[in-house]
Structure 1
Amino acid sequence: MPEPHRPVVLAVDDDPHVLRAIRRDLIRAYQGRYRVLTSGSGAEALEILDSLRDRNEEPALILSDQRMPELTGIELLAACADRFPSARRVLLTAYADTSVAIAAINEVRLDHYLVKPWDPPEERLYPVLDELLSDWQSGYEAPYGGITVIGQPFAPATHRVRDFLTRHRQPFKFTDAAEAAPDTPVTDLPVVQLPDGRRLVRPATSRLATELGLAMQTRHPHYDVAIVGAGPAGLAAAVYTSSEGLSTLLLEAYVPGGQAGSSSRIENYLGFPSGISGVELTSRAVSQARRFGVDLLSPVEAVRLRRDGRAGVLHLDDGKEISASTILLCPGLSYSRFDATGAERFEGAGIYYGATLSETTLCVGQHVWIVGGANSAGQAALHFAKHARHVTMLIRADGLEARMSQYLIDEIRRKDNIDVLTRTILVAADGGDRLESITLRDLSSGEERTEDAEYVFTFIGARPRTEWLDGTVVRDEHGFLLTGPDLGPRKGIEGWDLPREPLPLETSMPGVFVAGDARAKSIKRIASSVGEGAMAVAMIHRYRAEV
């Protein structure tokens, strides 16, 4: 990128020898992509940051020593958070200060701490900074001549395109059509302008995937394993099957990652003490699967499943058929829709299901409403609190403790700009072309009131994406897929022709397995979905050995 647009990495330390060492190591690894700046004091560092803000520049990473006169590292990084909330913050400490650094992770949202000395940097410095910078880049929209989306800010069609590009980590610039193309008919919006000058008018996600080189083709007429759904369970299974030599096809109806991919911040997943965004976590998993040779088709949807001898055949929405020796179903969940009056009219035009990080830039300085009281709602509230003027959470229960992890509750309570309204539900939505107001009902008193609202993000439960399997494999009354002992004795399962009982993750159709949230009685956590994906691979091997 041109020099003015290189994001800044700022290092601060009052010890000249340490400052020279960190500057040397930063320049060696990052000079080509970032502008490395250094400062010998906290006060001077704040002046640099204020100067960057005045020039509309943004720091990607700030490293600060803890023990500095006048302004400690924690105090400096807290001030940095107020100026640039998305910048990654790292504290440089001595061994004696590690307890202070650990406490700062929660107190000032510190991203990481490094103990001096950090030699060799290839082992103790660069891996940490690479991860933080990669995470920062996933949400950074650099000024560049790349993809431009021209549309109406609150139009559902525009929202779908922006969400698709964001979750595929395709940087783009959004321009309001009222300013850039006022004469363009609404029916021709959004317009996606590609770097080579081509313009796509109201493109479907499949067309976008093709034009951007995201779509892949199948390489085999028949696969050892076909996996439906590229959420955590499907991605984990794909990594294991492909790494163990099985030809693997992974199908995804929208964007790899599932609901996990839309999470603004995941902080309780093993191995990421400072948290990681859902987009970053699933992007790494996709790269890992592709490295082992997985064929990934997206966006393409499975619409029917049938048997052909011992093989399974998937019918796709584009008319194609996929044959595989074994099938793993990981379709995941979709968010439940509001039953509030008028809510359906504003989907994608003020009411959004999930975190929809593509809308973050529109919410800067605004009032955001979050409906729901589980972990996903808490993560979204903390994410939007960094950008919005105010965040209000609406929950049915008497408090957050009913469904939310304690670490999220503690963080929410520390945020001055987050309010929690208990025993409150949203019963109506109103507005013109976009959402303008919502009606709330107090469940204790029954009283209703109307509030101005432009941004409502909902997390009100979910249902399995299994309608297309009705009549093919056994589901429970809620649509979740039954497996193993939950199916009952094999003699009572229609079509079961093996001399054994179904395996723990096997459906009523031999050789068809389930992993993740769509399985009946599954634990709705990323870690458990990943574990089930790996467990399903062991059962696939057992099935293949016996047939």
Structure 2
Amino acid sequence: MAVTDLHPHLRAEHIEQMSAFGHRLGIAQGEYLLRSGEKAHSLFVILEGTVGIFDDTTQERITTHQPTEFTGNMTALSDRRFEYNAVALTDVVVLQVPQLRLKELISQTQELSELLLRTFLVRRVSEVENKYGSIKLFGSRYCPAVFRLKEFFSKNHVQYVWVDLEKDATSERILQEFGVGVEETPVVITNDHKIFKTPSVEEIAAELGLSSLQDASVFDVVVVGAGPAGLAASVYAASEGLQVATIDALGPGGQAGTSSKIENYLGFPLGISGSELASQAYLQAQKFGCHISIPHEVKSLRFEGNVFQLSLASGHTLKSSTVIAATGAAYRKLSFPNLAMYEGRGVYYAATPMELQLVRGKEVIIVGGGNSAGQAAVFLSAHSSKVHLVIRGHDLRNSMSSYLIRRLEHDPNVTLYTHTEVTALAGDGYLAQVELTDRLSQQKTWKDISNLFLFLGAQPCSAWLRSMTCLDEKGFVVTGRDLTQDTLARYQWPLQRLPQSLETCVPGLFAVGDMRSGSVKRVASAVGEGSMAVSQVHAFLTA
């Protein structure tokens, strides 16, 4: 990575433009411009002198900024806490641009916007590669709470270093010396040296500044779900000047975020991972002023006082003129009584670099015949000793894209089992064996394999809407022309016009993506629906 990509120099006209959004400030040598842990921090353009960026934990100097360079990374547009310390190495003169003014600058100046955002993304890649500003996570690989925290960190692009207590006896002894018992793990140590014992995801999110909710009497639109459909809706709504809040129960990306590589998405001939696509869309939405808050689960939705009111599990209530439901679908679970004890302990629902840490070099079983299963098989085949792909049908042609089928057919490390299903799991606290049954011969075979990946169908995440709007027999939300006159009458549709194509039987409530009845379960389709819903929101608001 070129140094100039990390430290571009602003031209004189750039600095003049930015001056309208900030003010000059003199800072003495040794004083801090930014401290690790600060929220809503400013961007600084160095006009005179030198500024150093330091890792707060190791005190290592990460980089140095010279005149006409600027501070900042992807956290500059969010409420996340800053991960580093910025210190004046000499007496300096800087141009300070507060966060709110920075957002205005980005929305109004195209060339500067592109330069800043490109630099923020490149710096983020550098931080990931070098593990700068990492949170420390101590816990056993067999602990479900550890897996949950790792999943949360990965989805939200939070830098972390995981110390597996099953492999690192020294760390376990150190924790014991500090009086931390096994029952108090996992332990999380943040960049500003706070220690959390057995923390919840919500507790860590609040500490990192991810879950702050923007005060607003009534939003124009609240987007529930930050998968491809929800993020597309967020980007388009915010870019068109609507006041938008987007919430998600775990992190951006949705089901697509678990894909190691999407190769048939328009505009990416080399493919793009679901995580990377979500990360860039997340930043893009913030660029236009969308307020994204994570993790928040909607417990119920009601229409009261001429606005939608969303009751969150945290106890907060959001109010909005319209709502776009984009909570997607989850993979179906096997109906085994002992399944839950193996989740995160050998049973996984995603194949990302996080899961790869646990299965590298080992045999794996993948269950499912869709694209997600195929992408997982291609990804894991390059790192596992053997991949066993299990499907109930007789081939993959009706459920998987042909480019993935060709890859798997020519991969000697992948074995396909047709007419087969998983019928039992075994293991003492951690998955150790998987039973496969041939559905034609009923022959049962036990495999001594401790890693099982499940990509089984889709169950819509629509429980929070059940009392509010019409769902089909499988729980998907019914919209547009699929709403019959009888249904509209039963739900007391109050308008003379019919619902728009993505509108539910409740005016102003829209459903997009995988949770919508009749939708095409593909990333591109979800993005299209998310963007199209915004035009329908506009039509509703201006009617």
Contact 2:258 2:350 in 1 (8 A): yes
Judge conservation of contact 2:374–2:405 (CA < 8 Å) in 1.
yes
Equivalent residue in structure 1 for 2:374, among 378, 386, 391: 378
Q: Which of 245, 248, 251 is the equivalent residue of 1:249?
A: 245
Check the 8 A contact 2:367/2:389 in 1, yes or no. Answer: yes
Segments of 4+ moved more than 6 angstroms: 129-138
Distance (Å, rounded) in 2 between the aligned partners of 1:28 and 1:513: 45
Q: Residue 153 of structure 1 aligns to which amino acid in structure 2?
A: R
Q: Which residue of 1 aligns with 2:227?
A: 231
Q: Secondary structure at the match of 1:538?
A: helix
Would you say 1:153 and 2:137 are equivalent positions? Answer: no
CA distance in 1 between counterparts of 2:261 and 2:354 reads 14
Is the 1:135–1:280 Cα contact (8 Å) retained in structure 2? no
Confirm or deny that 1:512 pairs with 2:503.
no
1:213: how far off? 2.8
Aligned to 2:254: 258
> Which residue of 426, 438, 446 maps to 2:442?
446
Deviates more, 1:354-363 or 1:299-308: 354-363
Are residues 375 and 155 of structure 1, via their aligned partners in 2, closer, same or farther at CA, if it must alter by over 3 Å? same
**Does 2:399 correspond to 1:403?**
yes
Contact kept? 1:364, 1:388, Cα under 8 Å: yes
Residue 163 to residue 300, structure 1, CA distance change in 2 (3 Å) = same
SS at match of 2:311: strand
Q: Could you tell me how far 1:494 is from its partner in structure 2?
A: 2.2
- Give the match for residue 299 of structure 2: 303
Q: Does residue 209 in structure 1 map to residue 205 in structure 2?
A: yes
Match of 2:150 among 162, 171, 177: 162
Question: Residue 342 of structure 1 is aligned with which of 338, 341, 347?
Answer: 338
SS of equivalent to 2:473: coil
Q: Quick one: distance in 2 between partners of 1:239 and 1:27?
A: 30
Q: CA deviation at 1:133?
A: 7.6
CA contact (8 A) 1:338 1:344 kept: no
Q: SS in structure 2 opposite 1:225?
A: strand
| 1:74-473 superposed matches below 5 A | 142=130, 146-178=134-166, 179=169, 180-181=171-172, 183=176, 184-340=180-336, 342-473=338-469
Structure 2 vs 1, CA of residues 132 and 221 (structure 1 numbering), >3 Å: closer, same or farther? closer
Tell me the SS of whatever aligns to 2:519. Answer: coil
Cα gap change, 1:130 to 1:378, in 2 (>3 Å) = farther
Aligned-CA RMSD value = 2.5
State how far apart, in whole Å, the 1-side matches of 2:158 and 2:6 are: 22
| Offset, 1:199 | 1.7
What is the letter of the counterpart of residue 145 of structure 2? A
Contact 1:306/1:313 (CA < 8 Å) preserved in 2? yes
Checking the alignment, whether the CA contact within 8 Å between 1:266 and 1:276 is kept in structure 2 is yes
Confirm or deny that 1:532 pairs with 2:523.
no
Match of 2:484 in 1: 488
1:498-509 alignment runs, 5 A limit:
498-509=495-506
User: Whole-Å Cα distance in 1 between the matches of residues 120 and 401 of structure 2?
Assistant: 25
CA contact (8 A) 2:5 2:122 kept: no
Shift of 1:409: 1.1
Identify the residue that residue 68 of structure 2 maps to in structure 1.
none
Normalised by the length of structure 1, the TM-score is: 0.74
In structure 1, what residue type is equivalent to 2:315?
G
Q: Identity percentage over the alignment?
A: 38
Q: Give, in whole Å, the separation in 1 of the partners of 2:155 and 2:142.
A: 18
3-state secondary structure, aligned to 2:163: strand
Distance 2:164 2:408 in 1: 33
Cα distance between partner residues in 2 of 1:474 and 1:425: 33
- Normalised to the residue count of structure 2, the TM-score between the two structures is 0.74
User: What amino acid sits opposite 1:230 in the alignment?
Assistant: A
SS in 2 for 1:392: strand
Distance in 2, matches of 1:422 and 1:137, equals 43
Shift of 1:342: 2.7
1:474-508 CA distance string (max 9 Å, x none):
11111111111211127624231111111111111
How far off its partner does 1:137 sit?
6.4
